[in-house]
Amino acid sequence: MKLKALIFDVDGTIANTERDGHLPACNDAFAQFNYPVHWSWVEYKQLLQLPGTQVRVRQALAQIRPDWTGSMLDEAAEVVTAVKRQIYLEKYVTAVSLRPGIKELVSEAVTRHVKLAVITLSHEAQVVALLQKQIPEFANAFHPILGKEAGPKYGPGAPLYVRCLAELGLTRDEVLVVEDSEGGTAAAVDAGLPVVVTYNEYTRNGRFPGARLITPTLTSFTLEQLSFLCLEN
- Whether the CB-CB separation of 157 and 189 falls below 8 Å is answered with no
- Of 86, 34, 78, nearest in space to 56 by CA: 78
Domains of the chain are 5-16+97-232 (3.40.50.1000), 18-92 (1.10.150)
- Whether the CB-CB separation of 50 and 59 falls below 8 Å is answered with yes
Who's near 99: CB < 8 A, 6+ residues apart?
Answer: 12, 13, 14, 15, 16, 198, 200, 217, 218
Per-residue pLDDT of the chain in tens (233 residues, 90 and over written 9): 899 999 999 999 999 999 999 999 999 999 999 999 999 999 999 999 888 899 999 999 999 999 999 999 999 999 999 999 999 999 999 999 999 999 999 999 999 999 999 999 889 999 999 999 999 999 999 999 999 899 888 878 788 999 999 999 999 999 999 999 999 999 999 999 999 999 999 999 889 999 999 999 999 899 999 999 999 87
Q: What whole-number distance in Å separates Cα of residue 211 and Cα of residue 26?
A: 32
Q: What is the pLDDT of residue 45?
A: 92
Return the CA Rg of the chain: 18
Q: What whole-number distance in Å separates Cα of residue 179 and Cα of residue 230?
A: 13
- Please report how the helices 23-32 and 70-87 are oriented relative to each other, as an axis angle in degrees rounded to 10: 120
Pairing relation of β-strands 195-198 and 142-146? unpaired
- 172-176: long-range contacts (C-beta < 8 A, 24 or more apart)? 173/2, 173/231, 174/2, 174/3, 174/4, 174/5, 174/231, 175/3, 175/4, 175/5, 175/6, 175/7, 176/3, 176/5, 176/6, 176/7, 176/212, 176/226, 176/227, 176/230, 176/231
